[in-house]
Chain A
Amino acid sequence: MAYPYVSDKEVRILSTYFGDPKQRHLDTYVERGGYKALEKALGMGADDVVNIVKDSGLRGRGGAGFPTGLKWSFMPKDSSRPHYLLCNADESEPGTFKDRELIRWDPHQLIEGCLIGAHAIRAQHVYIYCRGEFFETTQVLARALEDAYAKGYAGENILGTGHTIDVTVHAGAGAYICGEETGLMNSLEGKRGEPRVKPPFPAAVGAFGMPSTINNVETLCAIPHIVTNGGEWYKQYGTEKSPGTKLFCVSGHVNKPGNYELPLGFPLQELIDDVCGGVRDGNALKAVIPGGSSVPIINAEEVSRCTLDYEGCVEVGTMLGCASVIVMDETADIVKQVRRMVDFYAHESCGQCTPCREGSAWTAKIMRRIENGEGTEEDLDMLMEVTQKMVGTTICVLSDSVAAPVQSSIEKFRDEYLALIRRGERVGAA
């Protein structure tokens, strides 16, 4: 079940045991069928496992939506050098809170997914990079991992198959940019978490200079189910290009915020009105950010046309990202929220690339000035131009993420900016 509210519209695969503390225990997990997928996978060749995942059409759940099977197939087929599987549990995108639930309710699901993934890419070591703030969550994971080691599900000679796969839980130290794949690798290596230029790509030069693959927590949690039931089974859910289910994190001005596992392609309007119990206090809907703060904001009209899959979101001019739905009602102060998001990016920018380092801080200062009633209409045009220079000109896309909320809010909520500029009036209160 999703957490903390359930809906009968849900399709529960990953979130079946949310809210059930017994699931953390290894014997319960095994009793309920756990680690059978691992056994099955270890009995297959690595490439066979990759093919099942390719078949399923699973796309990366961390925000990029890159086909997972294809990503795994980029790894070298020989193991002359150590391969690494990295699990990205550095969940820091504003609005996202699914990985935390996945880890703390069903840690063994993730561990099993990691082990299967490691086998598929011929890796002998898995690093689960958890954000540093996840103290409690990480302890649950570490404890479960300890049990897995004790019972022979991880480490040397897993289940007597002769395969050795080690798992290490690694904690970050508070940097959003370490959720970027090469930023994470640098952080893991004990460096500043600054993203690297690609090429070379991680499958050629990754963690510690070795071929590596990085996957999101939710992606890896889906793996045991796909291996057990096959690729075709997974494709029965979702849409043709975006198969499967997704954990949608809904937050903001709804009555029942939380995680909901739904098939991809679910209509956004239905998610808000039905699954989440509607906008709070019966207020009118003003805007929604469907994929975490890095994707463009859409207005109420666009919400009514938006289906929650990768293609559907693009059609209304936004992106699915990590499917973190932030709902804003009529009381929301768009300028303030955009300013807060830009502050976030300016705070988290690693500082390597000049457009991002200077541009994010500059944009934040302009936004603050507008919010304080000292803005001009020229500022709006300048913001559009300046943020456009931050798109496509940097090593990673944090820079592009500054442009998304700024440009979409100026395009669709210009009246709120103008109210502040012309009359010093704030439209919203929240």
Chain B
Amino acid sequence: MSETVTLTIDGHEVTVPRGTTILEAAKTIGREVPHYCYHPGMSSPAMCRLCLVQVEGAPKPMPGCVTTVMDGQVVHTESEQAKADRQGVLEFYLVNHPLDCPICDMSGECDLQDYVHEEGREHGRSREPKRIFGRDDFGGDVLFYGDRCVMCTRCVRFMSEVEQDHRLTVVERGNRSVIDTFFEEGLEGTNWHGNIVDICPVGALVSKDFLHKARAWDLDHTPSVCTSCSQGCNIDLHTRDNLVQRLKPRENLDVNGWWMCDEGRHNYEWINKGDRIEAPLVRDSGASKAVGWKDALTGLLAAAGALDGAKIMAVASPLASNEDLGAFTGLVEAFGGGDTVYRSARAESEVVLKGFPTLARRKDLAANVHGADLMGATRVGGDDANGGLDDIAGHRGVILVLGDALADQDESFGSDAALYVYVGTHMSEATGNAHYVLPVTTFAEQEGTFTNLDGRVQRFWPGVEAPGMARPAWFVLGAMVAEMTEGEGARSAADAFAQLAGSVQAFGGMSYDDLGTRGAVVNETVSLAGD
């Protein structure tokens, strides 16, 4: 028996591995057969009956999600019969579905809206009163609008097969069946329940955090990487009005499958915080003055030149991108070299997603701890990301800080320093004594890469505009380094990464083109072009 099967789908010849389902085979030629209950990350109950396709020779329509392909099979997903079958099933879905579109969060990204618009009847024929379930608070971040539910049971199966904490169930049977938890137990204490909102094909399960916040069609999607721990889940930033409205996981089978944890999902408000440093600040006779970049960098270069063998102490941040860290360590070198430390919060234990065990909420609670390590920075301080800076606080030489909020330090930090440069996003007590404050961008406002705990380098893109005059750290620090070493400053993030690839052995041979949207692991031959 050969390893592949050749069949015909909608007139196209398709060759796929033996054991592939018709639905997956259709995907390979770009044909998305409508479906609800099927999801590649879970079991296939074939109960939504939406993926019924016509198979020549079969006595009745076959569910594409579980029917495996056979040599010589002729499948029609778009024939009159197949469309009529689908229209018939869609009509049943609308019998009890409420006309909630004007008030439903899912509007604009709803599989029922889309399918009915494409192929449904113009008018529903049911004149009977609809069954009512009402709204139920499932606990955690989830609200359940029972009337909208299409009973695909993706949520039930996610909790029982993927999170493996069987919290949801179908209660009752027949037309009286509804999704529910064990009475008041709800979803409290689970760590991945946000995913059920993602996989719900309609607006039955919605996020409380996102409730009535923004319309789906107003949102821009930008591919990015979650920064809440070192797993590096691929995500999308959903933005509107230059604010991040929510985070959604992005599929990457090598990192996070189709999922992300609740902690990471809800940790985005900090990106929207106002009160940013919007211009470079120079301290001049006790007062801070906002200046332009040229003046700031010129002044800083002069101050650097005036130093005479002063010792350099540097603090980096595990939330900075590889490119930012590369430029920062380059700056430390250009100043004469010195030790770079970083602090990072750490949890006591991992939280593994049992049904997809390569995914976990990791102990290191920042995205680029591995990147910082690869650049030669040393970790200091406690698991609460505090402490470890006693030597630096009163240092008399040069203090360079990138990104660390210095939240545990007081206004005496750096008061004795010959030169104290703070490169970051927000002011604090501890930045008061900085001679130069340079405003930079967060990961959401720039292009760059993070290195996850497995050494996978992953790209992210800017989803919001930087405030005021804030610029990427790799750009401004790179320009300084170029001046100090008579080199070339990187003009783009790709350039900055290429420079890294040249100087840090782990990144050797990598380029942005290689990384694509799926990333690649350090020290491994990169052979795939990304998509």
Whether A361 sits at the interface, judged by CB under 8 Å, is yes
Whether A37 sits at the interface, judged by CB under 8 Å, is no
Q: Are A395 and B47 within 8 A (Cβ)?
A: yes
Interface residues of B in 41-61 (CB under 8 A from A): 45-50, 52, 59-61
* Chain A residues positioned under 8 Å from B88 (CB to CB): 355, 389, 393
Q: Are B174 and A354 within 8 A (Cβ)?
A: no
- Docked pose: A192 CA to B160 CA in angstroms: 15
* Chain B residues positioned under 8 Å from A338 (CB to CB): none
Whether B212 sits at the interface, judged by CB under 8 Å, is no
Min Cβ gap B125→A in Å is 6
Across the interface, name the chain A residue whose C-beta is closest to B177.
Answer: A351
Whether B483 sits at the interface, judged by CB under 8 Å, is no
Whether A359 sits at the interface, judged by CB under 8 Å, is yes
Q: Are B49 and A353 within 8 A (Cβ)?
A: yes
Q: Are B60 and A393 within 8 A (Cβ)?
A: yes
* Chain A residues positioned under 8 Å from B60 (CB to CB): 392-393
Given the interface pairs A197-B46, A351-B151, A353-B49, the reply to whether A366 lies near B128 with Cβ below 8 Å is yes
Q: Are A347 and B174 within 8 A (Cβ)?
A: yes
* Chain A residues positioned under 8 Å from B129 (CB to CB): 365
* Chain B residues positioned under 8 Å from A351 (CB to CB): 151, 170, 172-177
Across the interface, name the chain B residue whose C-beta is closest to A352.
Answer: B47
Q: Are B174 and A192 within 8 A (Cβ)?
A: no
Q: Are A362 and B170 within 8 A (Cβ)?
A: no
Q: Which of B46, B93, B170 contacts A358 (CB 8 A)?
A: B93
Interface residues of B in 66-110 (CB under 8 A from A): 66, 85, 88-89, 91-93, 95-96
Whether B63 sits at the interface, judged by CB under 8 Å, is yes
- Docked pose: A365 CA to B129 CA in angstroms: 9
Whether B4 sits at the interface, judged by CB under 8 Å, is no
Whether B150 sits at the interface, judged by CB under 8 Å, is yes
Whether A86 sits at the interface, judged by CB under 8 Å, is no
Across the interface, name the chain A residue whose C-beta is closest to B93.
Answer: A354
Whether B126 sits at the interface, judged by CB under 8 Å, is yes
Whether B289 sits at the interface, judged by CB under 8 Å, is no
Q: Which of A177, A349, A369, A393 contacts B175 (CB 8 A)?
A: A349
* Chain B residues positioned under 8 Å from A197 (CB to CB): 45-46, 63, 66
- Docked pose: A368 CA to B376 CA in angstroms: 77
Q: Looking at chain B's contact residues, is the secondary structure mostly helix, strand, loop, or mixed?
A: loop
Range class of the B interface residue count: 20 to 34
Min Cβ gap B329→A in Å is 57
Whether A382 sits at the interface, judged by CB under 8 Å, is yes
Q: Which of A354, A362, A366 contacts B49 (CB 8 A)?
A: A354
- Docked pose: A197 CA to B50 CA in angstroms: 15
Q: Which of A192, A362, A395 contacts B95 (CB 8 A)?
A: A362
Q: Which of A361, A369, A386 contacts B174 (CB 8 A)?
A: A361
Min Cβ gap A144→B in Å is 33
Given the interface pairs A197-B66, A354-B49, A394-B49, the reply to whether A389 lies near B174 with Cβ below 8 Å is no
Q: Are B175 and A346 within 8 A (Cβ)?
A: yes
- Docked pose: A395 CA to B89 CA in angstroms: 13
Name the residue in B126, B150, B174 with the highest tally of chain A Cβ atoms < 10 Å from its Cβ. B174
Whether A357 sits at the interface, judged by CB under 8 Å, is yes
Whether B283 sits at the interface, judged by CB under 8 Å, is no
Whether A293 sits at the interface, judged by CB under 8 Å, is no
Q: Are A355 and B61 within 8 A (Cβ)?
A: no
Q: Are A389 and B91 within 8 A (Cβ)?
A: yes
Q: Are A192 and B175 within 8 A (Cβ)?
A: no
Q: Are A358 and B173 within 8 A (Cβ)?
A: no
Min Cβ gap B26→A in Å is 18
Whether A348 sits at the interface, judged by CB under 8 Å, is yes
Whether A175 sits at the interface, judged by CB under 8 Å, is yes
Q: Are B173 and A175 within 8 A (Cβ)?
A: yes
* Chain A residues positioned under 8 Å from B45 (CB to CB): 197, 352
* Chain A residues positioned under 8 Å from B96 (CB to CB): 358, 361
Q: Are B175 and A350 within 8 A (Cβ)?
A: no
Whether A360 sits at the interface, judged by CB under 8 Å, is yes
Whether B131 sits at the interface, judged by CB under 8 Å, is yes
Min Cβ gap B202→A in Å is 12
Min Cβ gap A30→B in Å is 44
- Docked pose: A197 CA to B48 CA in angstroms: 12
- Docked pose: A394 CA to B66 CA in angstroms: 13
- Docked pose: A118 CA to B46 CA in angstroms: 32
One digit per residue, 1 when the CB lies within 8 angstroms of any chain A CB and 0 when it does not, for chain B 228-266 equals 000000000000000000000000000000000000000
* Chain A residues positioned under 8 Å from B128 (CB to CB): 362, 365-366, 369
* Chain B residues positioned under 8 Å from A355 (CB to CB): 49, 88-89, 92
Across the interface, name the chain B residue whose C-beta is closest to A374.
Answer: B127
- Docked pose: A32 CA to B92 CA in angstroms: 57
Q: Are A360 and B175 within 8 A (Cβ)?
A: yes
- Docked pose: A54 CA to B66 CA in angstroms: 32
Min Cβ gap A319→B in Å is 16
Across the interface, name the chain B residue whose C-beta is closest to A345.
Answer: B174
One digit per residue, 1 when the CB lies within 8 angstroms of any chain B CB and 0 when it does not, for chain A 191-209 equals 0100001000000000000
Q: Which of A177, A192, A360 contacts B170 (CB 8 A)?
A: A192
Q: Are A358 and B47 within 8 A (Cβ)?
A: no
- Docked pose: A386 CA to B125 CA in angstroms: 10
Across the interface, name the chain A residue whose C-beta is closest to B84.
Answer: A389
Across the interface, name the chain A residue whose C-beta is closest to B97.
Answer: A358
- Docked pose: A254 CA to B42 CA in angstroms: 54
Q: Are B46 and A350 within 8 A (Cβ)?
A: no
Q: Are A393 and B52 within 8 A (Cβ)?
A: yes
* Chain A residues positioned under 8 Å from B126 (CB to CB): 362
Across the interface, name the chain A residue whose C-beta is closest to B60.
Answer: A392
Q: Are B59 and A392 within 8 A (Cβ)?
A: yes
Interface residues of A in 362-387 (CB under 8 A from B): 362, 365-366, 369, 382, 386
* Chain B residues positioned under 8 Å from A175 (CB to CB): 173
Across the interface, name the chain B residue whose C-beta is closest to A356.
Answer: B174
Q: Are B174 and A382 within 8 A (Cβ)?
A: no
One digit per residue, 1 when the CB lies within 8 angstroms of any chain B CB and 0 when it does not, for chain A 37-56 equals 00000000000000000000
- Docked pose: A200 CA to B198 CA in angstroms: 30
* Chain B residues positioned under 8 Å from A347 (CB to CB): 174
Q: Are A357 and B46 within 8 A (Cβ)?
A: no
- Docked pose: A349 CA to B150 CA in angstroms: 16
Interface residues of B in 128-186 (CB under 8 A from A): 128-129, 131, 150-151, 170, 172-177
Q: Are B66 and A358 within 8 A (Cβ)?
A: no
Given the interface pairs A352-B47, A354-B93, the reply to whether A393 lies near B174 with Cβ below 8 Å is no
Across the interface, name the chain B residue whose C-beta is closest to A350.
Answer: B173
Q: Which of A352, A369, A393 contacts B85 (CB 8 A)?
A: A393
* Chain A residues positioned under 8 Å from B47 (CB to CB): 352-354, 395
Q: Are A358 and B49 within 8 A (Cβ)?
A: no
Given the interface pairs A197-B46, A355-B89, A355-B92, the reply to whether A360 lies near B150 with Cβ below 8 Å is no
Across the interface, name the chain B residue whose C-beta is closest to A349.
Answer: B174
* Chain B residues positioned under 8 Å from A352 (CB to CB): 45, 47, 151
* Chain A residues positioned under 8 Å from B52 (CB to CB): 393
One digit per residue, 1 when the CB lies within 8 angstroms of any chain A CB and 0 when it does not, for chain B 308-341 equals 0000000000000000000000000000000000
Residues of A within 8 A of B (CB): 175, 177, 192, 197, 346-355, 357-362, 365-366, 369, 382, 386, 389, 392-395
The 5 closest A-B pairs by CB, nearest first: A361-B175, A392-B60, A389-B88, A351-B177, A349-B174
- 19 extra interchain contacts, Cβ-Cβ under 8 A, other than A361-B96, A362-B128, A369-B128? A175-B173, A346-B175, A350-B173, A351-B172, A353-B49, A354-B47, A354-B89, A354-B92, A354-B151, A355-B88, A357-B151, A361-B131, A361-B174, A389-B85, A389-B92, A392-B59, A393-B60, A393-B85, A393-B89
15 residue pairs of the A-B complex, CB under 8 angstroms, read A192-B173, A351-B172, A351-B177, A354-B47, A354-B49, A354-B93, A357-B175, A360-B175, A362-B95, A365-B129, A386-B125, A389-B88, A389-B92, A392-B61, A393-B88
Residues of B within 8 A of A (CB): 45-50, 52, 59-61, 63, 66, 85, 88-89, 91-93, 95-96, 125-126, 128-129, 131, 150-151, 170, 172-177
